[in-house]
Structures are given as C-alpha cells and as structure tokens.
C-alpha cells in the first residue's frame, strides 16, 4: 500500500471494472435492439496523477495526466468501428454537440462548439484549444492548451510554465524563459478567454 505500483494497480482495476460494466450495459442494449435509439457519451471529469510529477491523485495541478480524459461519442446508428481524433477538444463541447445531434439549436453565446464535424470525419474551424482552471487548493491556476503547446500560469506564486507537447509530452522542460513568442501568444489566448 502507498507505492506507485499499488496505486497504478488499483487504478487499472477500476478501469477494468468500469469496462466490464459498460460492456454489460451495451450488450443489454443490443439484446433489447434499442442501440440505435440513443447517443452514448463516455467521459470523465479528471485524470489521475500516478507520481508522474511527484504527487498522487488529482485536483492539485494542471498537468496532462490530470486533464486528459477519454471522450467517446457514439451517435445513433453509428457503425461499431470508430476512429481516434487527435484534435484537442474540451468537455465544454459536449453540450453543444448533444444539442446539435438532437436537432436543438444551441442558445446564443454558449461556450463550446459542436464536435459533429469531427464525428463525421471532417475537422473543426479555427485553432484547437482547451482551457482549465479551478484546482482544489490553487484556484488562481489557469491553463491554455493548443494542439502542440501548453501554458500554465499560477497567480499565487507567480509561476509560469510553458511546454512544447509535441517535443515534450511528459511536460518536463519548462520553456517559459526561452520561448517568449510562444509565451506571448498563449498568454493572449488565456487573457481573451478570461
């Protein structure tokens, strides 16, 4: 107990248990012949740090292991085969996607975007970006992530971290002191989002 291996084993067991439960649910829907009458979305509110950056759990940081969650969307009548979409999207996109799939117009000014074009094999307009904030003990920590870069700004200690995720997916090398152009660009996105 308390070791990284025990924590990872426990986490993996939880994922396997959920997978079995979801599989049973989907089997029941298939037997009842109603699988074409619903929209299935599987996601999570957070990931889990398993000592990748020296801590356990979630809610204390904005590293990828705590932010990157599954998002599985199965439209009605969808073929069993799926495809993986590499584009960065956000959970804030789930509601506008559900509204569009249900034929309901999204309210004016709603945050997020309809992911329907991705589900149909296309792409979305504009640059991919996602935002996060409001961790447990550091609510002033804010994050913006594009397809390849990520900025984490913590107002309390005044720290800033910039990562090139295409070259450094484990977020080990802070480029905030050397990539001033990248920092300025992401800072502008974060300011615009606020």
One digit per residue, the tens of pLDDT, for the chain of length 194 reads 567 788 888 889 999 999 999 999 888 877 777 766 788 899 998 888 877 887 777 888 899 998 989 999 988 776 656 788 889 999 999 999 999 999 999 999 888 999 999 988 889 988 899 999 877 777 888 999 999 999 999 876 668 999 999 999 999 999 998 888 889 999 999 988 88
Are 156 and 138 contacting, i.e. CB atoms less than 8 angstroms apart? yes
Residues in the chain, total: 194
Q: Which of 102, 171, 184, 91 is nearest to 130 (CA)?
A: 91
Between the alpha carbon of residue 70 and those of residues 44, 99, 107, the distances in Å are: 6, 20, 26
**3-state SS, one letter per residue, for 128-163:** CEEEEECCCCCCCEEEEEECCEEEEEECCCCEEEEE
Instruction: Kindly provide the residue ranges of all beta strands, DSSP E only, lying in 53-102, ordered along the sequence.
Output: 56-57, 71-74
Between strands 49-50 and 40-43, the pairing is unpaired
Q: Which two tokens stand for residue 9?
A: 């084993």
């Amino acid at each position: 107990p308390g070791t990284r291996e025990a924590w990872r084993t426990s986490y993996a067991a939880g994922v396997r248990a959920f997978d079995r439960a979801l599989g049973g649910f989907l089997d029941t829907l298939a037997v009842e012949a109603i699988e074409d009458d619903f929209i299935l979305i599987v996601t999570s509110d957070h990931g889990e740090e398993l000592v990748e950056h020296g801590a356990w759990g979630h809610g204390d940081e904005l590293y990828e292991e705590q932010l990157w969650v599954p998002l599985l969307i199965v439209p009605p009548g969808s073929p069993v085969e799926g495809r993986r979409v590499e584009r960065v999207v956000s959970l804030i996109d789930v509601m506008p996607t559900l509204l569009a799939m249900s034929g309901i117009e999204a309210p004016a000014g709603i945050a997020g975007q309809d992911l329907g074009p991705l589900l149909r094999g296309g792409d979305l307009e504009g640059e991919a970006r996602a935002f996060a904030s409001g961790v447990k003990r550091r609510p002033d920590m804010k994050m913006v992530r594009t397809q390849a870069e990520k900025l984490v700004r913590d107002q309390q200690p005044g720290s800033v971290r910039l990562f090139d995720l295409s070259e450094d997916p484990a977020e080990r090398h802070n480029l905030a002191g050397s990539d001033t152009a990248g920092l300025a660009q992401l800072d502008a996105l974060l300011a615009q989002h606020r």
